[in-house]
């Protein structure tokens, strides 16, 4: 059982891109069940493309396996049904819809109505502010609240893996810290495996067990969050200081 948990999400020799634009050149990484894994790297490295490949939005070649199930070549819908929830860059919130409608959309794969109602309450537990804004159009919320809607919608899938693309984008530091605290609480309480792409390496390394640095479509460094934080090159390139 232990090995199976260590190899919960396996990516091996993954190639992906957009037509002639090849972006990922043989990416390999493994994420253990229940851990938070951070993906760091400069703009244009392919971080977003990696998450899109993991959720089936971009076709990949190679191996993507979740708990033994092969994900390569599957549609986004099928991947979602297998338990992978994606919170895209820019959040993918439906602005004209209300908060509640956005959250219910996250449960589109589910038939267990009673459990869906319970999960709505669970989401409000993590994000009490959303309960006060239920009938409000998502487009009228603050950036931080919209990110909460996006996260809440992903939770409504009861995901086994949560893919987060730059959750801090455009948010004030205080709001970002609060969001990361909630992501950590979700990881601990729901045992949800999290893969987070983040420009703010400090924050991501603060909640991650392992991290990988992606550069021009290749993993150039992998290790525990502590190792990555201690790496001088990473510190200079991504953490903004010399060690």
Span interacting with ligand ATP, options 45-53, 91-99, 105-113, 184-192, rule CB under 6 A: 45-53
Long-range contacts of 101-106 (CB under 8 A, 24+ apart): 102/138, 102/149, 102/152, 102/153, 103/130, 103/149, 103/152, 103/153, 103/156, 104/156, 105/153, 105/156, 106/152, 106/153, 106/154, 106/155, 106/156, 106/157
Stretch 86-115 residues interacting with Mg ion (CB under 5 A): 89
- By a kind-dependent CB cut-off of 5 to 8 A, residue 168 interacts, out of Mg ion, ligand ATP, none, with none
The yes or no reply on residue 192 touching Mg ion (CB under 5 A) is: no
Closer CB to ligand ATP, residue 45 or residue 103? 45
Q: Is 62 helix (H, G, I), strand (E, B) or coil?
A: strand
Contacts for 71 with CB less than 8 Å, ≥ 6 apart = 54, 56, 64, 65, 79, 82, 84
Closer CB to Mg ion, residue 89 or residue 178? 89
The yes or no reply on residue 47 touching ligand ATP (CB under 6 A) is: yes
Stretch 6-35 residues interacting with ligand ATP (CB under 6 A): 18, 21, 23
Q: Which of 29, 31, 46, 231 binds ligand ATP (CB under 6 A)?
A: 46
Distance in angstroms between the alpha carbons of the first and the last residue of the chain? 39
The yes or no reply on residue 200 touching ligand ATP (CB under 6 A) is: no
What's the closest the beta carbon of residue 74 comes to Mg ion, in angstroms? 22
The yes or no reply on residue 48 touching Mg ion (CB under 5 A) is: yes
- Residues touching Mg ion, count (CB under 5 A): 3
């Amino acid at each position: 059982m232990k090995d199976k948990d260590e190899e919960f999400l396996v990516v091996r020799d993954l190639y992906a891109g957009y037509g002639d634009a090849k972006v990922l050149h043989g990416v390999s990484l493994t994420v253990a069940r229940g851990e938070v894994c951070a993906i760091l790297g400069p703009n244009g490295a392919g971080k977003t493309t990696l998450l899109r490949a993991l959720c089936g939005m971009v076709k990949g070649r190679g191996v993507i396996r979740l708990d033994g199930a092969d994900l390569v070549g599957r549609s986004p819908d099928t991947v979602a049904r297998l338990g992978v929830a994606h919170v895209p860059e820019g959040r993918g919130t439906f602005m004209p819809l209300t908060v509640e409608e956005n959250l219910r959309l996250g449960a589109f794969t589910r038939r267990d109505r009673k459990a869906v109602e319970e999960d709505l309450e669970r989401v409000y537990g993590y994000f009490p502010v959303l309960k006060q804004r239920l009938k409000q159009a998502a487009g009228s919320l603050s950036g931080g609240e919209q990110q909460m809607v996006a996260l809440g919608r992903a939770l409504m899938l009861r995901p086994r893996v949560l893919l987060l693309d730059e959750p801090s984008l455009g948010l004030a530091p205080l709001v970002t810290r609060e969001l990361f605290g909630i992501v950590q609480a979700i990881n601990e309480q729901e045992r949800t495996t999290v893969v987070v792409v983040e420009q703010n390496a400090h924050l991501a390394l603060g909640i991650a067990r392992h991290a990988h640095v992606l550069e021009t479509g290749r993993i150039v460094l992998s290790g525990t969050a502590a190792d990555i934080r201690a790496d001088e090159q990473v510190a200079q390139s991504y953490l903004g200081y010399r060690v």
